[in-house]
Amino acid sequence: MSDKVFRKKGKPLSIDEKSMVIQVFQQCNKEREQSFQVQTRDAHSRTANYTGVGRRQVVEIIKHFKDTGNVLPSTIAGNRTVHRTNIPPTIEEYIRQFIFGKHLKGEVCNSNHIQDILKEILKRELPLRTIQNHLDRMGFSYSRTRKKTRSLREKLYVRQQR
């Protein structure tokens, strides 16, 4: 058996694990300052050895902790980067009111209508897929109103929260 702790490769660290890395690093650093007979002079390598987390990850976690004083938030698993949307949060309520206004009139409202509004407000054209993803995050989904016609409707869980 080996002394080293093994983690599943590719699995993102939870906030608790990152807190543990910070605590181990601080303890290793304290021992290094107080004692002359420490195996490793580098606290990062020693922390990586004890926790089973890669040295580079330890350096990133500690650097973020020293800069901000907070634990680095967990990442989303997978090979996907979540970018901030180009749609400002101040416009979300305007979009919501527009969709409800269309439905009160009995008209169909889809992402093309939202794209036209955003083009006027933001003075730039956003990709249709970006708008659809943003509407999905806001709690809207498409539902069929008539044959072959799709319109935006609030999801059930969003309606229950209001």
Q: What integer pLDDT is reported at residue 7 of this predicted model? A: 60
Angle at 49 between CA 45 and CA 52, to 5 degrees: 125
**Domain presence at residue 150:** yes
Q: Which of 22, 54, 79 is the last residue of a domain?
A: 79
What domain range includes position 35?
1-79
How many other CB atoms are found less than 10 A from the CB of residue 62?
A: 20
**Domain presence at residue 84:** no
Do 65 and 95 sit in the same domain of this protein? no
From the first residue on, what is the mean pLDDT of each consecutive set of 10 residues in the chain (162 residues)? 57 82 87 72 82 86 87 64 71 89 87 91 88 85 64 70 60
Q: What integer pLDDT is reported at residue 148 of this predicted model? A: 56
CATH code assigned at 8: 1.10.10
Which amino acid would we find at residue 126? L
Residues contacting residue 17 through CB under 8 Å, at least 6 positions apart? 51, 53
Q: What integer pLDDT is reported at residue 87 of this predicted model? A: 79
Q: Which of 43, 61, 79 is the last residue of a domain?
A: 79
Q: What integer pLDDT is reported at residue 117 of this predicted model? A: 92
Q: Which of 79, 99, 132 is the last residue of a domain?
A: 79
Do 13 and 42 sit in the same domain of this protein? yes
Domain count, the chain: 2
Q: What integer pLDDT is reported at residue 78 of this predicted model? A: 56
